[in-house]
Chain A
Amino acid sequence: MTTLTQESNRELISEREQHESVARFSYGFELHRRDFFKLLGGGMLVCACADPAMAQESGARHRDRDEEQLPQNISAWLHIAGDGKVTVYTGKVEVGQNIRTSLTQQVAEELRAPIESIQLIMGDTSLTPYDMGTFGSRTTPTMGPQLRNASAAARENLIDLAAQHWRADRSSLVAENGRITNTRSRQSVSYGELTKGQELVKLMNDDPALEAPTDWKIAGTSTPKIDGRAFVTGKHKYTSDISLPGMLYGKVVRPSAFRSTLKSLDVSAAEKMAGVIVVNDGNFVGVAAVDATTALKAAKAIRAEWSAPSQTSEATLFQDVRKPATTESDNPGGPPEFRSGSIEQGFSSADKTLKQTYTISYIQHVPLEPRAAVAEWRDGKLTVWTGTQRPFAVRDELAEAFRIPKDKVRVLMPDTGAAYGGKHTGEAAIEAARLAKAAGKPVKLVWTREEEFTWAYFRPAGVIDVKSGVRKDGTIVAWEFHNYNSGPAGLRSVYAIANQHIEFHPTDPPLRQGSYRGLAAPANHFAREVHMDELAELVSLEPFEFRMRNLADPRARAVLQAAAKTFGWGGQKNSPTRGFGIALGFEKGSYVATCAEVEIKDREVGVTRVAEAFECGAVVNPDGLRNQISGAIMMGLGGALFEAIHFDNGKILNPHLAEYRVPRFSDMPQIEVTILDRKDLAPAGAGETPIMALAPAISNAIFGATGMRPRSLPMVAEGLPGPKTAA
């Protein structure tokens, strides 16, 4: 049994555990079979010959373990050019969470260089140190200190250089604003003049002298988004905006259902189109053409017959996910389980018990920029620009798919149009590279919205059973919590309960599933915090008071009190048209409490007000954090109220924005964010936890107004049950 208490401090292990397994497509390319070339305008059909890369097959299996060790020399992380420009290298990537800005601030802080002099190279597998990926709210707690250490070491190295240069006493030298100044002689030299662009060879100190957050001057301030101007002028190049000379536009021919195999293929009509290349390799069918419109027409002209096995449907989803997995879960560490005290004794000492079931639907991430990639083969080397949270993992996927060594693959990640946990994989990269290989030209592939809704992986659906026992005085004495399929993140309760049995049960998922902002923590928080309200009702205690009574953790108590205070909790009474709810969360080192007010009008639920308090240690960028928290609330409204993927027999039934409702302006509540800045604590990430307490707060507010307890996500896709009354 692996317990959740066996938490490891080793970051790599920790990151692996944060990353729920994402089922990968197996493309199984043969690489040489049936590549049809229609030379531009020439009308000649040729068949591609066997691939020279086949000879290097062994390379793809080579696992470069050394690569995963973080480099200790400054130059791997940071370079100062002769003109003083600082280039910083990190494998983390920017998807709107604003880490390009927050990491730059931390470098500026420790290096003592102006923000404007610093440029981050992010997620380029040829230039940046290895990184497992940008997920699990890990950038702030791991990459932040890493870059602060490198910057502090560089700063000390620069002071050494200046001391040698001037033959001066080191203690009289001060680093500030990109320069070293001798406070005695008033001599001053810029960083660039000192390094002359040479590498700083000093190794980083394990325990460098870092600024305490209370002394931060640049970190801890609301530095505006780096390159903000490039975004409001449309000049920023997302992956889908990249164009290479001679580039073709790709389009994949998709099967009509999941798990399909290709039965027959007629490409004759597509082949006849000028400037079109058709590729079939195993179950992969795609085209590349001189422009996107032609590529679309060619793909439509292909006649493909697929056979698909009979597959499960949404109607039986919540029975299906209760079935135990038949294949071993590749979740590292095995299925998490936590026990404390004696659950049997807990229940026998309880005055009242409660048993409830909560369900969570499949949803999609819907990043506004769909998956996209531009792939180019040159001299046996593959270069791919793609929007992914895991450039190094995508590089490995490409090396494996094309059976070439990893060092023949370079993946670059331009700052991308969002991900929310949905872009861990390299489907578009592999597909673009396969087409480019056949075409002998660069190929750009941008998934359509329908493809993104269908062929990207989903946030897992699940069922959660909660059984609890409580004493008359409101002390929870037994807590049994079983999560089926939705996931183990955020499984543990933040409340002090003596007797617990908590367990995650993996299944063979009906749909391809993977990470989503917060992984399963929002689902587990939903079940837990709705159940808490139900227990409060059972013992006739006020929901805030009931939570406080079972809460020992001072940080959790502080956020709950702060949210209640901002919201004015208890100041207004529930009525049939207006309800108030509260919920609490803790995950990934940060704490959240959310109060929600709902308005019920003609069986429709509107969230009119949300007050959220959040604490993630020392805050690196307060305005950026506010933006994340407020954004998580807006995004969370969708999964809470109306987002759901509908499916039947291997087909997605609502793969368009017209059929899949996402939050829009009219859904916007009044949002009040309270940040508790704990400068005495190390900064924790904030991309995920702010979403976690919203759905239960809304459910509890709906109960307050109506007496009905929504126990399924989404809660009110069709409005509240019951007849609509005339307004």
Chain B
Amino acid sequence: MPATLLINGTEHKLDVPADTKLLYVLRDNLGLTGTKYGCGEGMCGACTVLLDGKPARSCQAPLSVVAGKKITTIEGLERNGKLHPVQEAFLKAEAFQCAYCTSGMIMAAVGLLSKNPQPTDEQIISTLEGNVCRCGTHPRIVEAVQQAASAKHV
């Protein structure tokens, strides 16, 4: 199926089967490998991207559903070499170990903060509940999201 995808502000024309999931198009067709495969079942959040600003599991999203939507991946957060406040906060709090979950965590947090700029710890926890970190950096991730929230409003 020929499709046009709007990813990180750039239009990409592709011809792939309509049932192809966005995750594989990003990673295999477009080389945007910052978005990760973790389970392929929508249960780990490693593949989280923003669709029209809202966090979504790219492993569950067929092209037919995402065409026409504004897609943002981890590669689209940096602006002119300057990290997004959430990226900056993750780096500062060292909110990772193997960091394989980091892209998905950051995208979910960016989605949360755009909707709720001053979340409580409980709101961060419930938003990120679907994102798995196996290294156990959860407390640092919550701290990083809080740091990003306060940094944005300084």
- Chain A contacts to B: CB under 8 angstroms: 95-98, 224-225, 228-229, 231-238, 240-241, 243, 249, 291-293, 365-370, 415-418, 420, 446, 448-449, 623-624, 627-628, 630-635, 656-658, 662-666, 668, 671
Q: Which of B20, B37, B43, B78 has the most CB of A within 10 A?
A: B37
User: Quick check: A631 and B137 within 8 Å, CB to CB?
Assistant: yes
Sorted from nearest, which 8 A-B pairs have the closest CB atoms?
Answer: A234-B34, A634-B136, A96-B98, A417-B100, A631-B136, A234-B74, A96-B97, A241-B33
B99 within 8 A of A: yes
User: Quick check: A657 and B106 within 8 Å, CB to CB?
Assistant: no
Task: Determine the chain A residues whose CB is within 8 A of the CB of B28 once the complex forms.
Answer: 243, 249, 291-292
Task: Determine the chain A residues whose CB is within 8 A of the CB of B38 once the complex forms.
Answer: 368-370, 449
- In B92-116, which residues have CB < 8 Å from any A CB? 94, 96-103, 106
The total of Cβ contacts below 8 Å across the A-B interface reads 176
Q: How far is the CB of B94 from chain A (nearest CB, A)?
A: 6
User: Quick check: B41 and A656 within 8 Å, CB to CB?
Assistant: yes
Task: Determine the chain A residues whose CB is within 8 A of the CB of B41 once the complex forms.
Answer: 449, 656-658
B35 within 8 A of A: yes
B10 within 8 A of A: no
- In B104-154, which residues have CB < 8 Å from any A CB? 106, 124-126, 128-142
Alpha-carbon distance A201/B52, docked complex (angstroms): 59
User: Quick check: A666 and B132 within 8 Å, CB to CB?
Assistant: no
Q: Which of B77, B90, B102 has the most CB of A within 10 A?
A: B102
B68 within 8 A of A: no
Alpha-carbon distance A228/B102, docked complex (angstroms): 11
Q: Which of B36, B41, B88, B135 has the most CB of A within 10 A?
A: B135
Task: Determine the chain A residues whose CB is within 8 A of the CB of B135 once the complex forms.
Answer: 96, 418, 631, 634-635
Which residue from A235, A634, A658, A665 sits with its C-beta under 8 Å from B125? A665
User: Quick check: A666 and B35 within 8 Å, CB to CB?
Assistant: no
Which residue from A224, A417, A633 sits with its C-beta under 8 Å from B94? A224
For A249, the closest partner residue in chain B by CB is B28
Alpha-carbon distance A446/B102, docked complex (angstroms): 19
Alpha-carbon distance A243/B26, docked complex (angstroms): 13
Extra inter-chain contacts (19) besides given A228-B91, A368-B100, A368-B134, CB under 8 Å: A96-B98, A225-B94, A225-B96, A228-B96, A232-B102, A233-B83, A234-B34, A241-B27, A365-B134, A369-B100, A417-B98, A634-B138, A656-B43, A657-B39, A662-B132, A662-B134, A664-B132, A665-B125, A666-B126
User: Quick check: A368 and B98 within 8 Å, CB to CB?
Assistant: yes
* A668 and B20 in contact, given A96-B99, A449-B39, A656-B41 (Cβ under 8 angstroms): no
Q: How far is the CB of A28 from chain B (nearest CB, A)?
A: 30
Which of under 10, 10 to 19, 20 to 34, or 35 or more describes the interface residues of B?
Answer: 35 or more
For A444, the closest partner residue in chain B by CB is B28
For B31, the closest partner residue in chain A by CB is A243
- In B14-41, which residues have CB < 8 Å from any A CB? 16-17, 19-21, 24, 27-29, 31-41
Secondary structure call for the B interface = loop
* A630 and B94 in contact, given A240-B37, A418-B134 (Cβ under 8 angstroms): no
Q: How far is the CB of B32 from chain A (nearest CB, A)?
A: 8
B73 within 8 A of A: yes
Task: Determine the chain B residues whose CB is within 8 A of the CB of A369 once the complex forms.
Answer: 36, 38, 98, 100
Task: Determine the chain B residues whose CB is within 8 A of the CB of A671 once the complex forms.
Answer: 139
Interface flags for B31-71 (1: CB within 8 Å of A; 0: not) read 11111111111011010000000000000000000000000
* A234 and B24 in contact, given A95-B98, A96-B98 (Cβ under 8 angstroms): no
* A656 and B75 in contact, given A95-B98, A368-B98 (Cβ under 8 angstroms): no
Task: Determine the chain B residues whose CB is within 8 A of the CB of A631 once the complex forms.
Answer: 97, 135-137
Task: Determine the chain B residues whose CB is within 8 A of the CB of A658 once the complex forms.
Answer: 41, 43
For A663, the closest partner residue in chain B by CB is B136
User: Quick check: B136 and A231 within 8 Å, CB to CB?
Assistant: no
Task: Determine the chain B residues whose CB is within 8 A of the CB of A243 once the complex forms.
Answer: 28, 31, 33
27 CB contacts below 8 A, A to B, read: A97-B97, A224-B94, A225-B94, A231-B96, A233-B77, A234-B35, A240-B36, A292-B28, A293-B16, A293-B17, A367-B98, A368-B46, A368-B101, A369-B98, A416-B98, A417-B100, A418-B134, A420-B134, A449-B38, A630-B139, A634-B138, A656-B39, A662-B134, A663-B136, A664-B129, A664-B132, A665-B131
For A291, the closest partner residue in chain B by CB is B28
User: Quick check: A627 and B83 within 8 Å, CB to CB?
Assistant: no
Task: Determine the chain A residues whose CB is within 8 A of the CB of B87 once the complex forms.
Answer: 232-233
User: Quick check: A668 and B125 within 8 Å, CB to CB?
Assistant: yes
Q: How far is the CB of A601 from chain B (nearest CB, A)?
A: 16
Alpha-carbon distance A420/B16, docked complex (angstroms): 37
Task: Determine the chain B residues whose CB is within 8 A of the CB of A417 once the complex forms.
Answer: 36, 98-100
Task: Determine the chain A residues whose CB is within 8 A of the CB of B91 once the complex forms.
Answer: 224, 228-229, 232
For B90, the closest partner residue in chain A by CB is A232
Alpha-carbon distance A278/B136, docked complex (angstroms): 40
Which residue from A420, A623, A666 sits with its C-beta under 8 Å from B129? A666
